[in-house]
Amino acid sequence: MNDVSRGGSPVHRRSKAGHRWEGVDCLPYKEDEQARFKAISRQVLFSDPVLAAELRFFEVAPGGFSSLERHQHAHAVLVLHGHGQCLIGREVRRLEPHDLVTVPPWTWHQFRAASDASLGFLCMVNVDRDRPQLPSQEDLTDLQADPSIAAFLGALSHDGVDRVEDTKSKETRGLDLVTSRRDGRRFFGKRPRS
């Protein structure tokens, strides 16, 4: 038995310049015309059958942001570099390197890089997790009633929602972003046959 790797995955992967790693694919998000400056990439640092959680690294370019969403599973976030802000529930917080952020279940959240700095953060999540839920117009109206949240969301598109998701992710592979006719919520799923 080779002690040093298993399943072809080496035990030591060196850091490279620009917050990249040996043997780790960098998965870009598509740019969305309606959600300007959404410039975010994802790298899965640890994903292993013997681990109950994954550790991912997200890099948000200046002015970029992650999806505004919520879900049953929690996030455990550590800022690795840069500056920005996050919305967690109804709190907007400024983020500095090595800050910790907990996203509890069913809590609206979004991460945004500063306009003049990138934001790179680690995010730990359970391997078994549910799909994100996107806000309905009613949810957005409710959030935007708070001036600090409205300001946080201000640079977003008209409805604050990023419409183009990373379809390479485990959660969304092969799924469409669907709007429910019942309650207006958007989620990842199979588009109903017409």
Q: Between 9 and 34, name the residue whose CB sits nearer to a second copy.
A: 9
| Interaction between residue 15 and a second copy (CB under 8 A) | yes
Pairwise CA distance, residues 104 & 172, whole Å: 21
Q: Is 123 one of the catalytic residues?
A: yes
* CA distances for 194 relative to 55, 139, 174, 176, 190, angstroms: 39, 27, 18, 14, 12
How far is the C-alpha of 66 from the C-alpha of 68, rounded, in Å?
Answer: 7
Among 74, 114, 117, 177, which residue interacts with a second copy (rule: CB under 8 A)?
74
Q: How many CB atoms are located within 10 Å of the residue 15 CB?
A: 10
Distance of alpha carbon 24 from its chain centroid, rounded?
A: 18
Separation between Cα atoms, residue 66 and residue 113, nearest integer Å: 9
User: What would the x/- binding string for a second copy be over residues 92 to 131, using CB under 8 A?
Assistant: -x--xxxxxxxxxx-xx-------------x-x-xxx---
Which residue's CB is nearer to a second copy, number 91 or number 138?
Answer: 91
Q: Looking only at residues 138 through 167 of this chain, which bind a second copy when binding is defined by CB under 8 A?
A: none
Would you count residue 177 as binding a second copy (CB under 8 A)?
A: no
> φ, ψ for residue 184 (rounded to 5)?
80, 0
Q: Which is nearer to a second copy, 73 or 163 (CB)?
A: 73
Decide whether 19 or 36 has the Cβ nearer to a second copy.
Answer: 19
- Determine if 9 is a binding residue for a second copy (CB under 8 A): yes
Q: Is 163 helix (H, G, I), strand (E, B) or coil?
A: coil
Number of residues that bind a second copy (CB under 8 A): 52
With CB under 8 A as the contact rule, the residue among 26, 27, 39, 78 that binds a second copy is: 78
Among candidates 34, 167, 38, 3, which has minimal Cα distance to 113? 38
Phi-psi region of 172 (alpha: psi -120 to 50; beta: other; left: phi over 0): alpha
> Which amino acids are annotated catalytic?
123
| Interaction site with a second copy (CB under 8 A) | 2-6, 9-15, 19, 21, 24, 45-46, 48, 50-53, 55, 73-74, 76, 78-80, 86, 88-91, 93, 96-105, 107-108, 122, 124, 126-128
